[in-house]
Amino acid sequence: MIGHWKGYYTFEKEQIQKMIGFEKTYFEITIEKFDGVNFSGTVNDDIATGGMEETGKIIGKVENNKISFQKFMPINDQINLKGERIKTNQKHPTLYYVGTLSENKTTIVGTWKFKRKIEFIFGIIPLLFNPGNGGWEMNFNSENER
């Protein structure tokens, strides 16, 4: 698990994916610590394919061939209807990834999501909101193996 992984994520809703302007958003993950179950590292999205600029952190676990991790990005970027990224001063919501590790342990395929949250319309009417979800895949980059 330790080393560099390259992958991409997509949004399930086609409308959101079109607003971003790219079919896939690519990323690189570096897993720095792994004790056989728990792992941690960093993540960088590819800005050129609609990703966020800042370096994030990941914390996760592997159980048999199942993998799950949380992605923590420092700044919340939002995409307006024109597909433009707008930086906010808010903390980015946690992203939750789950996937299946291939038999040869070089590919992971899965889904990601934000947890649903409650937004208030006019400050008083609660509305359950799902900010997004989709699919992802990543492959171990053996050229940069440590």
Distance in angstroms (rounded) separating the CA atoms of residues 146 and 142: 9
What integer pLDDT is reported at residue 145 of this predicted model? 46
pLDDT band at residue 17 under the 50/70/90 scheme = confident
By percentage, how much of the chain surpasses pLDDT 70?
81
Residue 64 scores a pLDDT above 60: yes
Mean pLDDT (whole number) for 58-67: 97
Average pLDDT over residues 45-61: 93
Contact 23, 17 (CB under 8 A): yes
Residue 80: the pLDDT is 64
What's phi and psi for 59, nearest 5 deg? -140, 130
Residue 13 contacts residue 20 (beta carbons within 8 Å): no
Q: What is the mean pLDDT of the chain?
A: 85
pLDDT grade for 143, boundaries at 50, 70 and 90: low
The domains of the chain, with CATH numbers, are 3-144 (2.40.128.120)
